[in-house]
């Protein structure tokens, strides 16, 4: 039995929206791939037609990867055209405001909606929405009206987002140097990503799994062998899969082909994050930011990193 995977280039899109001037067809991937922390969906968009209203989130971070065509991104700085391979982050807050239209296919990754409070803001119509529905921002009050013994209070001054801000940084994953950590480059706060490039016959880091992190793997070019707890699968360009935390997500990449292969590894960033390599019994333990990870072998009882294990 292999790992669950989909190919974002060829996956059938079975969710359609055509309402109030917004239109797309899509396929949700998170549950299909067994993800718990990161969601994802593939979209096909028509030229000149946005898939959703212009919006941003509080408590949710989104990343967009352009698959095909020339999707057009609207952001606070204006409009720009994306090309296949472009990757961009929309952080929580007004700096992440965006809308996307076609023509093209793209995948949007998101983290935050399942594990914390979130709120969406629609600047064009001055609305907000959350799990409970959609409201007008102009209805905001700073008191519990009609409750307690206090009378009316002064109207609330609503602080709205600035009309413009600098364009979001973007990278193209086919032009980028491998092993570059992209979170800081893209202004991300909740996700990290790295481009992995393997020459013919080369393997990635040792077979391992992680407690405290969920990772997704997207093959960009070439073919890759993925060693996992049930054996080994061959992955092709466009293949996307989720590597869950714990032993079920154990993996190692192997390039058994004759040409260079390239992949994107997308990960949550929470701590603690503890890595185990079953082949060697080694653990790498990181429990706090700014603290050097402790490397421990399963049979080691000596002092490691200043601590007795």
Q: What is the CATH number of the domain that holds 254?
A: 2.60.120.10
Q: Taking residues 3-10, what's their average pLDDT?
A: 96
Q: Taking residues 69-86, what's their average pLDDT?
A: 98
Q: Taking residues 167-189, what's their average pLDDT?
A: 95
pLDDT surpasses 70 at 78: yes
Does residue 133 sit in the same domain as residue 245? no
Whether residue 26 is contained in a domain is answered as yes
Per-residue model confidence (pLDDT) at position 176:
92
Per-residue model confidence (pLDDT) at position 303:
45
**How far are the Cα atoms of 167, 190, 211, 291, 302 from residue 270, in angstroms, in the given order?**
27, 8, 10, 14, 28
Range in 39-53, 108-122, 187-201, 230-244 with the lowest mean pLDDT: 108-122
Strands of the 261-268 sheet, one edge to the other: 6-7, 239-243, 215-221, 261-268, 191-198
Does residue 64 sit in the same domain as residue 88? yes
Whether residue 1 is contained in a domain is answered as no
Does residue 53 sit in the same domain as residue 75? yes
Range in 43-47, 74-78, 137-141, 231-235 with the lowest mean pLDDT: 137-141
Residue that finishes a domain, picked among 110, 142, 171: 171
**How far are the Cα atoms of 5, 8, 196, 208, 260 from residue 204, in angstroms, in the given order?**
20, 23, 8, 10, 13
Instruction: State pLDDT tens for residues 267-288.
Output: 999 899 999 999 999 999 998 8
pLDDT surpasses 50 at 25: yes
pLDDT surpasses 60 at 195: yes
Residue that finishes a domain, picked among 139, 154, 171: 171
Does residue 254 sit in the same domain as residue 285? yes
Does residue 136 sit in the same domain as residue 247? no
Contact by Cβ (8 Å): 258, 267: no
Per-residue model confidence (pLDDT) at position 3:
87
Q: How many domains does the chain have?
A: 2
How far apart are alpha carbons 1 and 229 in whole angstroms?
A: 9
pLDDT surpasses 50 at 43: yes
β-pairing, 78-81 vs 231-235, is unpaired
pLDDT surpasses 80 at 174: yes
Per the rule left: phi > 0, alpha: psi between -120 and 50, beta: everything else, 112 is: left
Residue that finishes a domain, picked among 128, 148, 171: 171
Does residue 165 sit in the same domain as residue 187? no
Residues 6+ apart with CB under 8 A from 133: none
pLDDT band at 44 (very low <50, low <70, confident <90, very high): very high
Contact by Cβ (8 Å): 144, 152: no
Q: Please, how many CA atoms are within 13 Å of residue 121, restricted to the half-sphere of its CB?
A: 19
Per-residue model confidence (pLDDT) at position 270:
87
Does residue 47 sit in the same domain as residue 143? yes
Model-wide pTM > 0.75? yes
| Selection from 102, 10, 96 nearest residue 51 by Cα | 102
Does residue 102 sit in the same domain as residue 236? no
Mean pLDDT of the chain: 92
pLDDT surpasses 60 at 244: yes
What is the extent of the structural domain holding 13?
Answer: 6-171
pLDDT surpasses 90 at 102: yes
Does residue 223 sit in the same domain as residue 269? yes
How far apart are alpha carbons 132 and 130 in whole angstroms?
A: 5
Does residue 193 sit in the same domain as residue 300? yes
Per-residue model confidence (pLDDT) at position 150:
64
Per-residue model confidence (pLDDT) at position 304:
46
Q: Taking residues 128-139, what's their average pLDDT?
A: 91
């Amino acid at each position: 039995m292999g790992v669950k995977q989909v190919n974002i280039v060829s996956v059938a899109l079975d969710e359609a929206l055509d309402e109030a001037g917004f239109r797309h067809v899509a396929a949700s991937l998170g549950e299909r791939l067994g993800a718990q922390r990161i969601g994802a969906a593939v979209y096909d968009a028509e030229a000149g037609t946005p898939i959703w209203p212009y919006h941003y989130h509080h408590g949710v971070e989104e990343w967009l990867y352009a698959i095909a065509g020339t999707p057009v991104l609207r952001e606070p700085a204006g409009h720009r055209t994306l090309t296949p391979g472009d990757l961009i982050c929309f952080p929580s807050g007004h700096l992440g405001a965006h809308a996307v239209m076609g023509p093209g296919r793209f995948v949007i990754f998101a983290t935050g909606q399942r594990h914390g409070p979130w709120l969406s803001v629609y600047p064009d119509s001055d609305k907000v929405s959350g799990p409970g529905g959609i409201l007008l921002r102009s209805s905001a009050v700073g008191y519990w009206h009609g409750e307690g013994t206090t009378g009316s209070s002064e109207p609330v001054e609503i602080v709205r987002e600035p009309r413009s801000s600098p364009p979001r940084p973007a990278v193209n994953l086919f032009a980028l140097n491998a092993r570059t950590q992209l979170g800081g480059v893209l202004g991300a706060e909740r996700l990290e990503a790295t481009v992995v490039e393997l020459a013919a016959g080369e393997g990635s880091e040792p077979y391992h799994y992680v407690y405290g992190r969920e990772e997704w793997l997207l093959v960009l070019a070439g073919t890759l062998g993925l060693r996992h707890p049930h054996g080994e699968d061959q992955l092709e360009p466009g293949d996307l899969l989720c590597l869950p935390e714990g032993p079920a997500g154990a993996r190692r990449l192997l390039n058994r082909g004759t040409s260079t292969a390239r992949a994107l590894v997308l990960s949550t960033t929470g701590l603690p994050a503890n890595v185990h390599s079953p082949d060697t019994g080694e653990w790498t333990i990181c429990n706090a930011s700014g603290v050097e990870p402790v490397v421990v072998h399963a049979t080691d009882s000596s002092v490691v990193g200043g601590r007795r294990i």
